[in-house]
Amino acid sequence: MWGLNIKLKHKHCMWKCLNNSLPFKELIYMRIGKVYNICNDCGEDIETLEHMLFYCLEAQKVWKLAPIKWEGFENLQHNIWKWWQAVMTGTKEQATDHINLTVIILWKLWKARNKRIFEEETRDALKTVQKTQREWMEFDKANAEEGETCSSTHTVQQHQRKWERLKEGVIRINTDIAISAHMIRIGKGIIARNWTRKILRAMGLVEHKRGEASTEEALAVRAVLMMTKNAGWTKIDVQTNCKVVVDQIDASKTHEGHLATILEDIVELRTDFELCSSSFVHRTGNQCCHMLA
């Protein structure tokens, strides 16, 4: 957790969540017994850490609006440890962005709760989400700048995180998958940014099944095209770290093998876009600055 590439205050908050040391009401009640332990925001339940972060109506409003979703993790929300473990193992490398954003959301939920209690400020879920976005973007931008300097001190084998400038109006979508054979689980991460790097949408999806990497990557790309088509975006650039998929999509020949149907769907979907490019991004693309941090 300390290796995450985010601000110290965010890490610290996450650490406190996991170590049961954020002073939410139920905890104080258990320690000194002199507090009213019902949640101030909804008045409906005891304020436990999990209530505050996930179950409270106020928290749910935030998650609904948040650019990141952890679908398939709802059954773990009763235990922050289990939930966090699933988040950390369900996504890897490229998807560290998802994790960073998630930690910032948790931190914001805690801050908003405190403002409500101590400063009597009314909570506004939309504002909370917008602030989260802003906070994340600031940090992401600072990292990208750092990425440029770190290329000079590292060998070419370590591809630095590189953001090629996009033309106005183009949306870049990154996908990544993580397969855990041990847990029979496949995690997919999708993140869409516009040409100014603003995150438009981020998704984490978890399925409990066995899968094979290239098939799952191809399915992820197909999911991206369907998602963007529904969103009405017409100019996109899809980045994936599965070279097979990129090569096959670009070589617009007839497809063979077990990927054929998915790839044909992708080629078909592509024709609906004004611009649809795809490119390969190295799996270590995100890691250089991460290692320095």
246 binds Zn ion (CB under 5 A): no
- Binder of Zn ion out of 56, 103, 224, 288 (CB under 5 A): 56
For residue 142, give every residue at least 6 positions away whose Cβ sits within 8 Å of its Cβ, in sequence order, or none.
none
In the bound complex, what is the minimum distance in angstroms from residue 51's beta carbon to Zn ion?
6
Tracing tokens 């109006």 back to the chain, one arrives at 169
Picking from 94, 91, 126, the residue whose alpha carbon sits closest to that of residue 108 is 126
Candidates 20-28, 49-57, 226-234, 243-251: pick the segment binding Zn ion (CB under 5 A). 49-57
Picking from 198, 178, 175, the residue whose alpha carbon sits closest to that of residue 186 is 178
Q: Which amino acid is at 236?
A: I
In the bound complex, what is the minimum distance in angstroms from residue 9's beta carbon to Zn ion?
24
Q: Is 258 within 8 Å of 244 (Cβ atoms)?
A: no
Q: Which is nearer to Zn ion, 41 or 97 (CB)?
A: 41
The total number of residues shown for the chain amounts to: 293
Tracing tokens 């095209």 back to the chain, one arrives at 225
In the bound complex, what is the minimum distance in angstroms from residue 65's beta carbon to Zn ion?
17
In the bound complex, what is the minimum distance in angstroms from residue 71's beta carbon to Zn ion?
22
- Binder of Zn ion out of 5, 7, 41, 147 (CB under 5 A): 41
Phi-psi region of 265 (alpha: psi -120 to 50; beta: other; left: phi over 0): alpha
Query: CA 189, 98, 23: angle at the middle one, nearest 5?
Result: 140
Q: Which is nearer to Zn ion, 56 or 112 (CB)?
A: 56
Q: Which is nearer to Zn ion, 109 or 206 (CB)?
A: 109
50 binds Zn ion (CB under 5 A): no
Residue 209 has phi, psi (to 5 degrees) of -160, 170
Q: Which is nearer to Zn ion, 26 or 176 (CB)?
A: 26
Candidates 32-40, 98-106, 172-180, 218-226: pick the segment binding Zn ion (CB under 5 A). 32-40
Picking from 112, 135, 240, the residue whose alpha carbon sits closest to that of residue 198 is 135
Q: Which is nearer to Zn ion, 46 or 251 (CB)?
A: 46
Q: Which is nearer to Zn ion, 41 or 216 (CB)?
A: 41
39 binds Zn ion (CB under 5 A): yes
Tell me which DSSP letter residue 258 carries: G
In the bound complex, what is the minimum distance in angstroms from residue 47's beta carbon to Zn ion?
6
* Residues found near Zn ion in the complex (CB under 5 A): 39, 41-42, 56
